Amino acid sequence: MMDFLKVKGREPSCEPYPKPDGWPETSNPSRIKARRMELESQVQWLKDEGFKKIYVSGHSEGGRVVQGLKAEVAGVFIHGMDCKSSRAEFWDPNPKNRIMVFVSSKDPWLGYPSYAVRGCRSLFNRSYVEDYWSSHPTHSPLVEQEWRDVISRVLKRTEPQ
């Protein structure tokens, strides 16, 4: 799970408070592409080291990064980031990846009215995308017990998907 706020030498993507109009930094194609390339490299390194079942998770800007992961992994967890984007470069993910999105319609960091927050399935109509919704007014990752339960069940599966 990439955490850009704790990696040495990295600038935080935003200030520690929500902005009513959202964060343009998380919509910067070159920034997201650079971070996605870093993630692709990390996934490849894990595969080279013999890991067979790899999951990636991204919260907030990290959620924007993992949305379009090209590498094949066992699952992609996105939390604290919706899929409201008109930019195609954020998407076109690997169709073999199972994607689970955990988002609150009242997330103050997303900067949208609650009716405008979009799940990935509704925007891209992909059967491999699962949306899990909350109405908690928070940006905290995995705030709902149901979300943690879903992830726990997925991680404990031993059969191929």
- Look at residue 59 in the predicted model and tell me its pLDDT: 87
Going by the DSSP 8-state scheme, the letter that residue 88 receives in this structure is G
The answer to the question of residue 118 being in a domain is yes
Cα 146 to Cα 3: distance, rounded to the nearest angstrom: 23
Choose among 67, 75, 155: nearest CA to 119: 67
The answer to the question of residue 52 being in a domain is yes
CA 37 and chain centroid, separation: 15
The answer to the question of residue 43 being in a domain is yes
pLDDT tens track for 32-90: 788 888 899 999 999 999 999 999 998 888 888 888 888 999 999 988 887 755 555 55
The answer to the question of residue 97 being in a domain is yes
- Look at residue 73 in the predicted model and tell me its pLDDT: 95
- Look at residue 131 in the predicted model and tell me its pLDDT: 82
CATH number at residue 100: 3.40.50.1820
The answer to the question of residue 14 being in a domain is no
The average pLDDT across 4-18 equals 57
pLDDT tens track for 102-159: 888 888 777 665 556 666 765 555 667 888 888 888 888 888 899 999 999 999 886 5
The average pLDDT across 5-15 equals 57
The answer to the question of residue 13 being in a domain is no
Residue range(s) defining the domain that contains residue 92: 24-156
The answer to the question of residue 16 being in a domain is no
Q: Domain count for the chain, please give it.
A: 1
The answer to the question of residue 100 being in a domain is yes
Give pTM, 2 decimals. 0.80
76, burial (CB in 10 Å: exposed 0-12, middle 13-18, buried 19+)? buried
- Look at residue 46 in the predicted model and tell me its pLDDT: 95
**What 3-state class would DSSP assign to 72?**
coil
